[in-house]
Copies of this chain bind each other. A is one copy, B any other.
Amino acid sequence: MAKGLPKRSENYSEWYNEIVKRADLAENSAVRGCMVIKPYGFAIWEKMQRALDDMFKATGHVNAYFPLFVPKSFLEKEEEHAEGFAKECAVVTHYRLKANPDGKGLMVDPDAKLEEELIIRPTSEAIIWNTYKNWIQSWRDLPLLINQWANVVRWEMRTRLFLRTAEFLWQEGHTAHATEQEAVEEAERMLGVYAEFAENWMALPVVQGVKSPNERFAGALETYCIEAMMQDGKALQAGTSHFLGQNFAKSFDVKFVNKENQLEYAWATSWGVSTRLMGALIMAHSDDNGLVLPPKLAPIQVVIIPIHKTEEDLAKITEKVEPIISELKAAGISVKFDDDDKQRSGWKFAEYELKGVPVRLAMGMRDLENGTIEIARRDTLTKESVPVDGVADTVKGLLEEMQDAIYQKALAFREENTFVVDTWDEFKAQIEKGGFVMAHWDGTAETEEKIKEETKATIRCIPLVGIEEAGKCVYTGAESPRRVVFAKAY
C-alpha cells in the first residue's frame, strides 16, 4: 500500500510532494522553478483542457495564438500592470550564441544584443491589446471573444510543483466589448464557467466572489475569483476573471466608433486558469493511499486485473472480461486490462490506488467458477463481489455515483471547516486552527494588511452570494455591510 507515503495528518506538505512524485504527475526539472509534467499528470491536464475548451467554445469564444514575447515598452504602458509584474519578469536580451574563443562551449554573442529587451509573457494583456488596436475600429468588430492556451513565466522565488512554478501552462481569455455592462457580464459569465468546471468536473466546491482591492489583478477594476478549500483547511484560488474597464484600451489606444458614431475606448476582460488546478485537484480529494480522482478527469477510469497462476487461467479470465471491456469502451469509458506478468497483483492494486484509478475490477479463478467479479472503488476503498453479468452497467452507475460522492465529501468538509466568527480573539484562534473564517471587515486596505501581518490570513473573497448582514469589523469594530472569507492560502 504505497509504502511510506507520509500521512496527511502528520505532514500535509510532504504528503502532497510525495503524491505528485510517486503518482508520476510531475517533477522538478534542472531549470530552477520549472517543472516537467509527466505523461500521467499531463493526461489529467489534457482532460481538463478539453472540457474547458468545449465550455469556452459553447459560450462563443474562439482560440488564437499571440507571441511569447512582450517588448518591455509594451509592458510599461499600463502602469499598475507593469508594477505588478516587473519583479517576476524573465528577460531576453540577446539572440545569438557563438563559440567561446577562450575555450570550449558557447557564449552569448555580445554583438547580438537586442535593441529593446523582450519579456517572456507573464500574462498577455499588453501584447494582445497592442494587437487588438488594429482589429477594432467599429462596434461591428465587437465583441472580440478570444482565448489562448499558452505557457507563461513568472519568476517566483519559492516554487512548488503545480501550485507555483516559474513556467506554467494556462489559458487566458481576452475579450473586448462595446459597453461596460457587456464586459462585466462577460467577466461574470466566465467566473460561472470556471465554477461549473470546478464543481462538475473536478468535484471541487468553490466559493465565487470578488477580491478586495489589495488582491486584485494588476490593472483590473474588479477581480472575480473562485476559492476552494484544501484538506488542510487552507484556501486555494482556483481561477480568476477580471473586469479591466478601459485601462488597457486607454494604454494601447484602442478606440472604436460606437452606434452613436462617437469614438470610445473598448471595454475589456481577461480570465484564466492554469496547471495550478492540478494542485487543487490533488490536494482536495486524495488520501494517505495516494491520488483520488473524480472519474470525469481520470485518464484510466477502470482497471481490470486478472489474478491467475497459469497462462491457461489467464486465457480463461481474459475471455470472460473481454466483453466487459468492449461494453465499457463503447460507453466511452477508458479501461485498462493489466495482464502484465512482470508484476504481482498485490503490487498492481497498490499502484492503481496510488494513481487514483476510480474503479478496480479483479477476477480470479474462484470468481470465474462463481460467475462473479470483485469491484473496488477508490474513493471509499470499499469492495464487493458482484455478478459478472451486467457488471458494465454497474461500473457505469458507480462512476457517476463516485463523481458526485467525491464532490459531496469535499463540500461537507468545507462546511465543517467554515466558521462564523465575531471577535478578534476567536478570529486569531480559528485562523490558527485552519479553515474559512467568515468575519466582518471594515473595507479598508489598512485593516486587511494588519490582519495579514498578525495572522497570515488574507481575504480570499467577498462572496457574490452572501447574506447582507451588517456588523462590526472583527479587527477595528468599524461598520461592515457583510462578512468576507478569511483564510490562509496557497
A residues engaging B (CB < 8 A)? 27, 29-31, 34-39, 42-43, 45-46, 62-76, 82-83, 86-99, 104-106, 108, 117-120, 127, 130-131, 134, 140, 146, 150-151, 153, 155, 167, 169, 342
Contact residues in B for A167 (Cβ distance below 8 Å): 67-69
Lowest 5 A-B CB distances belong to which pairs?
A34-B67, A39-B62, A37-B65, A86-B97, A95-B155
Q: Main SS of the interface on chain A?
A: mixed
Enumerate 18 A-B pairs (CB-CB under 8 Å) in ascending A order: A29-B127, A30-B130, A31-B70, A31-B118, A42-B64, A68-B120, A68-B151, A75-B106, A83-B99, A86-B96, A86-B97, A86-B99, A89-B95, A89-B97, A91-B96, A92-B93, A95-B155, A150-B151
Query: Do B76 and A62 have beta carbons less than 8 Å apart?
Result: no
Q: Which of B31, B42, B150 contacts A127 (CB 8 A)?
A: B31
Copies in the complex: 2
CB distance from A339 to the nearest CB of B (A): 16
Distance in angstroms from A335 CB to nearest chain B CB is 15
Q: Are B131 and A36 in contact (CB under 8 A)?
A: yes
Known: A29-B127, A89-B95; 17 extra A-B contacts, CB below 8 A, are A29-B67, A30-B127, A31-B67, A31-B127, A36-B65, A36-B131, A39-B62, A39-B63, A43-B63, A45-B65, A73-B105, A75-B106, A76-B105, A89-B96, A90-B92, A90-B118, A108-B117
Chain B residue nearest to A46 in the complex (CB): B63
Contacts of A71 in B (CB 8 A): 30-31
How many angstroms from the CA of A64 to the CA of B26 in the assembled complex?
9
Which residues of chain B come closer than 8 Å to A82, judged between CB atoms?
A: 105-106
Docked-complex contact A87 and B93, CB < 8 angstroms: no
Complex CA–CA separation, A322 to B300 (angstroms): 40
Chain B residues, Cβ within 8 Å of A92:
90-93, 120
Q: Tell me whether A98 and B86 are in contact in the complex, defined as CB-CB below 8 angstroms, given that A31-B118, A37-B65, A127-B29 are known contacts.
A: yes
- In the bound complex, do residue B89 and residue A91 qualify as a contact, i.e. CB atoms below 8 Å apart? no
How near does chain B come to A261, taking the closest CB pair, in angstroms?
16
A342 nearest CB neighbor, chain B only:
B140
In the complex, what residue of chain B is closest to A115 when comparing beta carbons? B32
Minimum CB–CB distance from A72 to chain B (whole Å) comes to 6
CB neighbours of A108 from chain B (8 A): 72, 91, 93, 117
- Among A65, A134, A167: residue with most chain B CB under 10 A: A65
Question: What is the distance, in angstroms, from A188's C-beta to the closest C-beta of chain B?
Answer: 23
Determine the distance from Cα of A317 to Cα of B130 in the docked complex, in whole angstroms. 42
The answer to whether A93 touches B94 (Cβ under 8 A) is yes
Output the nearest chain B residue to A131 by Cβ-Cβ distance: B36
Check B63 against A36 for contact (C-beta < 8 Å): no
A451 to B73, CA, bound (A): 46
> How close is A425's CB to chain B, nearest CB, in angstroms?
41
Contact of A93 with B95 in the complex, beta carbons under 8 Å? no
Separation of A54 and B37 alpha carbons in the complex (Å): 20
CB distance from A340 to the nearest CB of B (A): 10
Task: Tell me the minimal C-beta distance from A202 to chain B in angstroms.
Answer: 20
Give the chain B neighbours of A150 by CB distance below 8 A: 151
Provide the bound-state CA to CA distance between A46 and B64, in Å: 10
Q: Which of A31, A104, A150, A167 counts the most chain B CB atoms within 10 A? A: A31
